Structure formats: C-alpha cells, structure tokens
Chains A and B, each alone.
Chain A
Amino acid sequence: MTPTTKQMREVFPAGAGAYRYRILESDETFTFELEGQHSLDPEASISLAVETSQDGEGVVRTESGGTHAFAWAWVNAELHLWLDGELFVFERDEGRRSAVGPAAATTGDILAPMPGSVLEVLVREGERVEQNQTLVIMESMKMELVISAPHQGTVRRVAVEPGQRVERGMRLLEIASGEGGGEEWVLKLN
C-alpha cells in the first residue's frame, strides 16, 4: 500500500503546532513516521501493534514490548486521546498551513477562553493597549476571568458588550499589533 502524507496539529497539552506524517500499515504493525526529520532519528518513527480495542479504548504495544492503555473520542474536529494517564488533543489540519512548524500569526483576535458572560469591557475601539493590560472581565462558573492583552497594539474592534453571553472561541475584540502579534489569547486569573 502506498503511504499517504497527512497533517495534524497538536493543541493540548503543548500546542506544538502542525506536523506532517506518513503511515505504513501491515497486518501486524502500524508504523508512524514524522516527515521533515531524518529517518534515522529515533524520535521520527515508531511502530506499534494494537492489541485490543473496544468501546473506544485499546492497548498498544511498542517494539520494545512496552504496553500502553489508551482511549479516544472526537469532540467536533478535535481528537481527544487519553494515553497512560495523560490527555492529548489533536486537530485535523485541513491544509490551512502547508509548512511544518508553529503556525504564523495571522490575526489579533482575542477569543473567549470559555463560555460565560461579559461583565466589563475596559477598552474602546481605537485605544492603544499595553501588554498584559486588562481588556475584558468575564464571569464563568461563578468566577471572574480577566482577559488581558497578549501584546501591545491598538484595539481595532470591540465585538461584545457588558451583559452579553459568549460561547467558547467567540471573538471578544481584535487588536492590531505593531509587532506581528500572536493568535493566542492570554488569560490571567486574579
């Protein structure tokens, strides 16, 4: 069988960005190879045998004979993987970014880290903000969440108002950065 190159992004725990890989599959083993690394690099390829699998869980055995329990489930486009007591979350990368490595920053959107309601918006459109400056105060699960500026810049758009309910990932405001900026929101809890 001809191996196909695929692409995925790791979003949790480390947010390591996109990577490309190939799969070589036979009856007994499943070989995974990371692309873009030297093929002799021990961290670039691994072969597994999936011993059992039912009800969304299984056990894999590596070449060294080690066994690892795992379970998985999909949450929308995210693949949640429990492996040896750790959670990993991957996302299918639909070719939005073609290169391996961390995605380049494209926007200055400040997103709601979780669902809740907006208590206060402390900045106005056109206002210049410093890094770590408080932008929005949200309430969720009976706690206040302070959303701070991840970098300095200018508020281009305020998308919410006090009292408004927001869903996770909804844009709260947009910050135009003088220095490239980042797409990640930064959250500080008081």
Chain B
Amino acid sequence: MFSKVLVANRGEIAARIIQTLRVMGMASVAVYSESDATTPHVTLADQAVPLAGQTAEETYLDIPKIIQAARDSGADAVHPGYGFLSENPMFARACQDAGLTFIGPSPESMEALGDKLRSKEIAIEAGVPVVPSSAACLPGDADVAEFVGEWGFPLLVKAAAGGGGRGMRLVHRQDELNGAMESASRESQAAFGDGRVFVERYVTQPRHVEVQVLADGQGHTIHLGERECSIQRRHQKIVEETPSPALAPQLRQIMGDAAVAVARGAGYVNAGTVEFLLDARSGDYYFLEMNARLQVEHPITEAVLGLDMVEWQVRIASGEPLSLRQQDIDPRGHAVECRIYAEDPYHDFVPSTGSLLRWRPPGGPGLRLDSGVSEGQEITIHYDPMLAKLTAWGPDRATALGRMDEALSRFQVLGVVTNIPLLRRVVTHPQFRTGEYDTGFLEWNPAVTTPAVAEQARLLARAVAAWAADRPAITRESQPGPDSPAGTGPANPGPWDSAGGRRLP
C-alpha cells in the first residue's frame, strides 16, 4: 500500500478520492490553481500544493508541475481522477519515470484505448460488434468522401483522441460536413492536443449503456454490471441509472461478458468502462469505446453494490489481487445520478458563471452528494461547469426516482443558473418513468427544455420577488457591464425605497 497519494485533479472527484484515501489511512496531497485555493478538495486534503496559474493548461494539465508537486510532497502514488490528465499516457509515463505509481491502467493500454480506431480493432479481435467508421482523417480527405458514399447520412464526426462528447458533431447533410469536421478538429486540438477526426455511421435512436470492469495485475477481470446513460445533452450524460431498464437478464450477461473480453484484449488493469450503443428494439449492441479511467457516474454502481471503486483502484494499483469474483457481484435495488451543471437548461445549455451565493444541497435517506464546490465560491470559465453529482438509491426504481425528485426540489442554488429544473422534469417525465428512452430524449421532448411556468406559480414568484426586493439580502457586486448599470443594487434602492414595511425578524 501507499503512504501518501497525490490527487491530480480538482472539484468533486478530487474531494471524493481524498475521502477514500482518508478512510484507507493514507495521507493525501491536493494540487490547486490560484482560483481553487479554498475549494473543498484543498481543504479536505492533508497537504496542498499550489500550481501557479489560472487556466487548466497552466495547472491541472501541466505534467511537469504536477510531477514536481508529487516529488516535493513525498507522495508515492498519483490518482488522476477523470478528465484532465487521467487518460494521458505521457502523464502515466512521467509518473513511472519519477518513481510514482500511477493509479490507473498502463500507458500502453491507455494509448491503445485512447485511440478510438485502435480500440475498435481490439473489440473486433475480441469478437464484439462495432459501429462502421472511416480511418482517421483531416477535413477534406478522400477517405471521408468514400465513407459517405458507402454509408450516407446522418453520420457522426468524432475526435480520434476524443471523449466526453468533446470534438463530436452530428452531421445530417453534405454541406455541413466540412464545417463540422473543422470545428471538431479544432476543438479536439484544443482539448486533447490531437486534431485527427474520423466519421462514423450514426446509429439512430440508440441507448447508451456502459459496463464497469475491474481487472487486477494477476489477470483476473470481472464486470460490475451496467449503467444506463442515455439522457444526454450535447453528447454529454446528465442522468444515469443502474440497472438499465433496457436490459433483460440474458442481454445483461452477454454485454457484461463482451466488456470483460474487450478489457482482457486490451491487457487492461484497474477500473475501466466499456461503452456500448444499444438498439433496444432489436437488441443489437455495438462497442463504442473503452474509458481508461474512473467514470463520472461510478457512484450509482457503488450504490447498488455497496463497494468503493476508488478503494479498489488503489488496492489494484498497489499490486493486490482482486478478491471479488464475478458471482459475488449481486446488485441490490436501483440507483440514479443527476449531474448538477452551472448552465442554462432553457437556452442551449450555455454555461453560467458567477459567485455561488447560496449552495444548500439536500440530505435524506438513500441520498449521496459528490460536490466540489462550497457556498461563496466563484464559478469561473476555466473549468468544466459541473458543480456536483446527486445520487439517489432506492429498493426499486420508482423509489430511487422519487427520492431524486424530492431531493432536487429542496436543492437551493443562487448566484448561477443550474440545470436542476431540467433534471426534475426528466426524472418525473412519463416517458422516462416507463424506462423506454434513448439518447434523443431531450430532442424528442422539447417541452423539457422550454421554460413553462404556470400562471399561478409566476404570480407567486412575482409577489415574493416584490416582497424580497425591499428587504436586505445577500448581495454580490461585480464589475458593471452593459447589463448591470452601476449603482442600482440593493445598497441604492432608489425609486424602490418606498415600502418601509416590516423588517426581517
């Protein structure tokens, strides 16, 4: 086992990893950018090392700075979390070279799986079906025209090095293709330092189902069941649940075995996730990619299995054999996760920035919050707009979804706009409740992303606003912009100072 582990990440996942390290009795080291100096992952860690700079490139993506921080702090292992450097083989190698254990797969399997095209070959060799796609190419290449000639539209443009929906574009017509490829290539270059893209047949109305795997260094590989991740916006998941309502026991077993076969084929060690597209009507499934890291939505797997995935990652990385056998994996009940994003659900999910003036997460039976923010914190443009993840467990699906909706209804956030109202509309939606939905759920149900306030509720809101407008409350002044004329805040009520009524008790 390790004596001290550096967590090369920020936000909720860094805090969550540090919690497990504390439980396991290991010292933890946080790293942080200038704007993150007082965020939860920093305050929770035993030790914290500043990374000079503000942007992700200057801080959480800067390999030499992080290696130096690990050396200086005397850490013997590094946990990369997800995103940032978690699937960067150069980082895993840099850790090895510095004598640090990287808590994750080997750089070689990361390289193979990080390349979407090579990972497809691994799946084909393992006998797992894949979606047809072109070779890697640049905008305007002849390979693209050939693929389009064979498969037509719609198709997906994807980043060869991509993940998390970045660098992915859905293209319906020929005249959209070049622009989509250029934009995807640019985004991929910025996010992953690799501008290669490819085109892939678009499976219409698919479900996105993924299988969690765990593999130790002794060749023992098992799966931990599936997660249903079909509720997405901009190709990014926002609601996940397990078990998937789409899988009958037989298909669950087939896909679980397929995931294990892919992991074995890649020589994979540690926790990983095999993603599939599922055509629920036909039962056809296709390997999509394997994510060589801890997944954002891992808490729902933990909730139904009663285990700690980060603990297993640490144990496996330290060389311990995986003592769990496949027959030990016996999910109990149902779990759902909602990702709380600082974004406007009614206006194309534009990220929202500002000061988190109020942050009051709910508690209650079966609830778990993974949060990387605290009240008063600034939500900046530098990082992903995900604030927290709320997980609800119940003995059955209806209870889990009921707990989620009830909890979201009490989740008070002010200062930034969040997607909480959208999440509530999803988990209470009649179609979602039937379990029959696919990745097009938000497109097929535009009402979910359209503001619709009942007249009576609007009147109440206006009345309460009128009441609150004359009372002192938390205030935030920032640089006046064109939308915020100076001097009109509550400190200077101006024409409003007229009620003179009751004050707060």
Which A residues lie at the B interface, using CB under 8 A?
Answer: 4, 6, 8, 10, 12-14, 16, 19, 21, 23, 25, 27, 30, 32, 34, 43-46, 48, 50, 52-54, 56-57, 60, 62, 68-90, 92, 94-95, 111, 113-116, 119, 137, 139-146, 167-171, 187-190
Other than the given A71-B360, A81-B465, A170-B481, 13 more pairs (CB < 8 A) read A21-B466, A25-B501, A32-B466, A73-B358, A73-B414, A75-B355, A76-B478, A82-B413, A114-B353, A142-B384, A144-B187, A169-B482, A190-B169
User: Which of B136-144, B245-253, B433-441, B468-476 lies at the binding interface?
Assistant: B468-476
Q: A115-B381, A190-B183 are in contact. Are A77 and B488 (CB under 8 A)?
A: yes
Stretch touching chain A among B145-153, B280-288, B344-352: B344-352
Q: With the chains together, A145 CA to B347 CA distance in Å?
A: 12
Assembled-state Cα–Cα distance A9/B191 (Å): 39
Known contacts A25-B499, A25-B501, A141-B385: A30-B463 contact under CB 8 Å: yes
Max chain A CB contacts within 10 Å: which of B360, B408, B474, B480?
Answer: B474
Closest 5 A-B residue pairs measured CB to CB?
A13-B451, A32-B463, A76-B484, A85-B409, A73-B474
A45 partner residues in chain B, CB cutoff 8 A: 459
**Nearest chain-B residue to A89 (Cβ)?**
B417
A140-B381 contact in complex given A57-B412, A74-B475, C-beta closer than 8 Å: yes
Residue of B56, B351, B418 with highest tally of chain A CB at under 10 A: B351
* Residue in B349, B408, B489 whose beta carbon sits within 8 Å of that of A189 in the complex: B349
Q: Using Cβ atoms and an 8 Å threshold, which residues of chain B touch A90?
A: 462, 465, 469
Complex Cα distance, B456 from A30, in Å, reads: 16
Residue total for B at the interface (Cβ-Cβ under 8 A): 85
Structural contact, B348 and A189, CB atoms closer than 8 A: yes
Min CB distance A8 to B, Å, is 7
Q: Sample 19 A-B pairs with CB under 8 A, ordered by A number.
A: A4-B499, A6-B466, A12-B344, A13-B453, A14-B458, A25-B502, A32-B466, A46-B463, A48-B464, A48-B467, A62-B460, A75-B476, A75-B478, A87-B420, A114-B350, A115-B381, A142-B191, A144-B187, A170-B482
State whether B463 touches A86 (Cβ < 8 A).
no
* Chain A contact surface mostly: strand
Total A-B Cβ pairs within 8 A: 231
A76-B480 contact, Cβ under 8 Å, with A30-B463, A83-B460: yes
Judge whether B463 and A48 touch: CB under 8 Å. Answer: yes
Among A53, A85, A171, contact of B504 (Cβ-Cβ < 8 Å): A53
Q: Which residue of B lies closest to A21 (CB)?
A: B466
Q: Which of B14-22, B197-205, B490-498 contacts A (4 or more CB under 8 A)?
A: B490-498
A116 to B463 Cα, complex, angstroms: 35
With known contacts A71-B358, A75-B354, A77-B488, A82–B462 Cβ distance under 8 A? no
Chain A residues with Cβ below 8 Å from B456 are 43
The yes or no answer to B92 lying at the interface (CB within 8 A) is no
State in angstroms the CA–CA spacing of A173 and B350 once bound together.
19
B328 at the interface (CB under 8 A from A): no
Min CB–CB distance A162 → chain B (angstroms): 12
Given the known inter-chain contacts A46-B459, A76-B489, please indicate yes or no for A84 contacting B409, CB distance below 8 A.
Answer: yes
- In the assembled complex, the Cα of A158 lies from the Cα of B187 at a distance in Å of 24
Task: Please name all residues of chain B whose beta carbon is closer than 8 Å to the beta carbon of A48 when the two chains form the complex.
Answer: 460, 463-464, 467
A80 CB contact (under 8 Å) in B169, B357, B484: B357
Neighbour of B468 across the interface among A10, A68, A72, CB < 8 A: A72
Find the residue from A4, A60, A144 having the highest chain B CB count within 10 A: A144
Q: What is the CB-to-nearest-CB distance from B65 to chain A, in angstroms, rounded to a whole number?
A: 19
Let me know if B463 and A94 touch, CB within 8 A: no
Of B346, B411, B420, B482, most A-chain CB atoms within 10 Å? B482
Query: A76-B476, A144-B183, A144-B186 given as contacts; is B461 within 8 A of A81 (CB)?
Result: yes
Instruction: List CB contacts (< 8 Å) of B161-187 with chain A.
Output: 166, 169, 180, 183, 186-187
Interface residues of B (CB under 8 A from A): 56, 166, 169, 180, 183, 186-187, 190-191, 234, 344, 346-355, 357-358, 360, 381-385, 408-415, 417-418, 420-421, 424, 451, 453, 455-469, 471, 473-485, 488-490, 494-496, 498-499, 501-502, 504-505
B483 nearest CB across to chain A (Å): 4
Q: Report whether A86 and B453 are in contact in the complex, using a CB–CB cutoff of 8 Å.
A: yes
A85 in contact with B420 (CB, 8 Å) = yes
Assembled-state Cα–Cα distance A8/B468 (Å): 13
Q: Which of A21, A52, A170 contacts B462 (CB 8 A)?
A: A21
Partner of B467, one of A50, A80, A189: A50
Beta-carbon contact of B347 and A187 below 8 Å: yes
Q: Chain B residues with Cβ under 8 A from A187's Cβ?
A: 347-348, 350
Cα(A141)–Cα(B476), bound, Å: 22
User: Bound complex: CA of A85 vs CA of B362, how far in Å?
Assistant: 11
> From A167, which residue of chain B is reached at the shortest CB distance?
B481
Alpha-carbon separation in the docked complex, A34 to B36 (Å) = 45
Q: Considering the chains assembled together, what is the distance between the CA atoms of A54 and B472 in angstroms?
A: 10
Inter-subunit contact A167/B421 (CB<8 Å): no
Chain B residues lying within 8 Å of A119, measured Cβ to Cβ, are 186
A43-B455, A86-B453 as given contacts; A145 in contact with B350, CB under 8 Å: yes
Residues of A within 8 A of B360 (CB): 71
Tell whether, in the assembled complex, residue B190 and residue A139 are in contact, meaning their CB atoms are under 8 Å apart: yes
Complex Cα distance, B190 from A9, in Å, reads 39
Chain A residues whose CB sits within 8 angstroms of the CB of B353 once the complex forms: 114-115, 168
List B contacts of A68 (CB < 8 A): 460, 464
